[in-house]
Amino acid sequence: MNAKRTATSAPQAQVNGAAAAPRSSLLARIAAALPDLRKSERAVAERVLAQPNRVLNLSIARLAELVQVSQPTVARFAAAIGFSGYKEFKLRLAQSLASGVPFVHQDVTPDDTLELVAAKVFDCTIGALISVRNHLDTACLTRAVNILTQARRIECYGVGVSGIVALDAQHRFFRFGVPAVSYTDVHTMGMAATVLRRGDAVLAVSASGRTTDLLGSVEIARESGADVIAITAGGSPLAKRASVALYADVPEDPDIYAPMISRLAHLTIIDVLSVGVALALGPPLQQRLERAKRTLRDKRIHGADGFGC
């Protein structure tokens, strides 16, 4: 891994190009979306990444003039990364830069002690989770909980490391009395998507949001009438194909490293969804969960040498 240590707050440092973008959750989303933007929209994105604080003070006309594109191009750029328009984009950019969350993006070096390794990993993870929490869209979260609460069936899709997260999601939701299954094999996933129907829900997890087989399954699921909830990077192809998207923009590149921080962010979002669904289902679910707990208690050793549940 690279020997790199950055411990500055986003509002205290200028972002010089896409490589430094992970200092802000929104800038990380923009950097991740670069490969999928049109050439003119990419020019706007690169100006935002290079001078985010300056862009805050620019009108749409002035930004278009500086980048030498049309005003509709700037508007399309804002829409491409998940906003209704340039005004909403600037508002969220200001919130992101002013959050004051320290993005301690530290890569371990061969000379680090184990104590320092632990500190770096924990600091980076904590900072990322706080950022995801601060930027999670409440309206999208509410809609996702409503879809899952009313679902006839829940299918969880994920490939690679995201497949492990999908398995965890299945473990969360099957206890609610709704048929829930996870698919990590892309062929089975695609076939399963063809037999879905209206009233079914798919929870699709992907750090990059660009895995072609997963995207194909999601498209089939939508064509079959199912709602798709995506937990992924903002502005990604998966986010654009979903009924509702929950963004987990974290400072790591899943194309280079095995996703670590994003995996934990995805698991946390799933925990939020499961708690939201449990509260929505109310007392009957609580009784069902209590029966499940009693079953687990019978399988554990109690009071043996000080070890309990």
Residue 303 maps to a domain? no
Q: What is the pLDDT of residue 4?
A: 36
Using the 3D structure, point to which of 98, 119, 135 is the last residue of a domain. 135
pLDDT for position 92: 83
* Residue 55 and residue 99 share a domain: yes
209 lies in some domain = yes
Please indicate, yes or no, whether residues 127 and 163 belong to a single structural domain of this protein.
Answer: no
229 plus 86 within the same structural domain = no
The more confident residue out of 216 and 253 is 216
Same-domain status, 283 and 143: yes
Q: What is the mean pLDDT of residues 209-225?
A: 96
Q: Domain range spanning residue 280? A: 138-294
What is the pLDDT, as a whole number, of residue 258? Answer: 60
What percentage of the chain carries pLDDT values higher than 70? 77
Residues 99 and 211 in one domain: no
For residue range 238-264, list pLDDT tens digits in order.
999 999 999 998 876 555 556 688 899
Q: What is the CATH classification number for the domain harbouring 154? A: 3.40.50.10490
Is 275 part of any domain? yes
67-71, 246-250, 301-305: least confident range: 301-305
pLDDT computed for residue 13 by the predictor = 34
Same domain, 142 and 286: yes
Say yes or no to pLDDT of 190 above 50.
Answer: yes
Average pLDDT for 90-96: 82
pLDDT in tens, 137-169: 999 999 999 999 999 999 999 999 899 999 999
Q: Quick one: 156 and 259 in the same domain?
A: yes
pTM (2 decimals)?
Answer: 0.67
Residue 191: the pLDDT is 97
Nearest to 249 by CA among 99, 98, 134: 134
Q: 51 and 17 share a domain? A: yes
In a domain, 70, yes or no: yes
Tell whether the model's pLDDT for residue 20 goes beyond 80: no
Domain boundary among 82, 102, 135: 135
Residue 64: both structure tokens together:
């278009």
- 306 is a domain residue: no
Shared domain for 169 and 122, answered yes or no, is no
For residue 239, how many other CB atoms are within 10 A of its CB? 24
| pLDDT band at 282; cut points 50, 70, 90 | confident
> What's the whole-number mean pLDDT along residues 211-231?
97
pLDDT score recorded for residue 257: 56
Residue type, 179: P
197 vs 122: which has the higher pLDDT:
197
Q: Are residues 162 and 277 in the same domain?
A: yes
Q: Is 208 within the bounds of a domain?
A: yes
Query: pLDDT band at residue 9, thresholds of 50, 70 and 90?
Result: very low
| Average pLDDT score over residue span 37-50 | 92
Q: Are residues 122 and 6 in the same domain?
A: yes
Report the range of poorest mean pLDDT among 105-119, 128-142, 180-194. Answer: 105-119
For residue 302, is it within any domain?
no
- Over residues 79-90, the mean pLDDT reads 88
| Confidence check: pLDDT of 207 > 80 | yes
In a domain, 301, yes or no: no
Question: Is residue 229 scored above 90 in pLDDT?
Answer: yes
Q: Choose one of 120, 135, 150: the last residue of a domain.
A: 135
- State how many domains the chain has: 2
pLDDT at 46: 92
Asked whether residue 160 falls in the same domain as residue 251, the answer is yes
Considering the chain, what is the average pLDDT of its residues?
82
CATH number for the domain spanning 90: value is 1.10.10.10
